[in-house]
Amino acid sequence: MSKAFLREDDLGEVALIHRPIPSLAPGEKNYITPAGAHRLREALAELKHERAGLAVPPIAADTRRELQEIDERIHYLEESLRTAEIVRVPERPWNVVRFGAIVLVRDSDGVQSQYRIGGVDEADLSQDCVSWRSPIARALLHAKVGARVPFEFPGGKTHLEIVSIKYD
C-alpha cells in the first residue's frame, strides 16, 4: 500500500540517529575557546526555542522530521558542551602560538593570511577559524613571532612567517 493512503499517525517516528562528536582520538580533550563555548550555548538556546515553537499539536509529518533534525542538533551541541574543556587565554606576552590564538602569517610570496585556532566544533573557514587538529594549526602551534614555519598547501610548499599573535 502506498504511504499516500496511510494516516499521518500510522507513519510512525523516523529513527533518530545521533551523530558522534567529531573524531577525537581516545583520551583526546574536546578543547574549545571561551568565545566558542558561548556561541555553542547561544546556538543551543536558539534551537530549543525553535523546537518549542514547532512542537505544537497537531504535528505534521514534515514538522516531525524537522523536530527530529533539531533534536539531533540539540543532542550534538549538548554532548559537545558536556565534553568541552574550555581553554582560557594565556598570560602575556603573546609571542608563542597557543590554542585560541589569532595568527597573522605571511607566505613566501608575501601574501598575508589570518588563522584563528579553535576547537573541532568551532572550525569555520568563512571566519578564518581552523581546528587545532588541522594541518595548518598543527604547523603553527608553538611557533614564535618571526619564525618561518614550513607548510604544504594543496598548491605546493611554502614557508609561513608568523607576523603577529593575538587573542580575543
DSSP per-residue codes, 55-109? --SS--HHHHHHHHHHHHHHHHHHHHHHHEEEPPPPPSP--B--TT-EEEEE-TT
Structural domains counted in the chain: 2
Is 9 part of a structural domain of the chain?
no
159 within 8 A of 106, measured Cβ to Cβ: no
C-alpha cell at 55: 512542537
Q: Do 82 and 117 sit in the same domain of this protein?
A: no
Residues 6 or more apart whose Cβ sits within 8 Å of residue 156: none
Q: Do 82 and 108 sit in the same domain of this protein?
A: no
Q: What does the alpha-carbon distance between residue 16 and residue 94 come to, in Å, rounded to a whole number?
A: 45
Domain boundary among 20, 54, 88: 88
Q: What is the CATH number of the domain that holds 146?
A: 3.10.50.30
130 within 8 A of 118, measured Cβ to Cβ: yes
Is 1 part of a structural domain of the chain?
no
Q: Do 81 and 137 sit in the same domain of this protein?
A: no
Is 159 part of a structural domain of the chain?
yes
Is 4 part of a structural domain of the chain?
no
Q: Do 44 and 73 sit in the same domain of this protein?
A: yes
Tell me the pLDDT band of 62, cut-offs 50, 70 and 90.
confident
Q: What is the CATH number of the domain that holds 35?
A: 1.10.287.180
| Tens digit of each residue's pLDDT (9 = 90 or more) over 77-92 | 999 999 999 999 998 8
Give residue 134's pLDDT: 94
For the chain, give the mean pLDDT. Answer: 86
Give residue 6's pLDDT: 44
| Tens digit of each residue's pLDDT (9 = 90 or more) over 104-160 | 999 999 999 999 999 999 999 898 999 999 999 999 999 999 999 999 988 889 999
Give the residue among 53, 34, 45, 31 at the shortest CA–CA distance from 121.
Answer: 31
User: What letter would DSSP give residue 30?
Assistant: E
Q: Do 108 and 53 sit in the same domain of this protein?
A: no
| Residue range of the domain that includes 157 | 102-166
Domain boundary among 40, 63, 88: 88
In this structure, are strands 112-118 and 129-131 parallel, antiparallel, or unpaired? parallel
Domain boundary among 62, 88, 114: 88
Q: Do 39 and 84 sit in the same domain of this protein?
A: yes
What's the average model confidence in pLDDT over 62-66?
A: 86
Q: Do 69 and 108 sit in the same domain of this protein?
A: no
Q: Do 80 and 130 sit in the same domain of this protein?
A: no
Q: What does the alpha-carbon distance between residue 78 and residue 18 come to, in Å, rounded to a whole number?
A: 12
CB neighbours of residue 158 within 10 Å: 18
Is 107 part of a structural domain of the chain?
yes
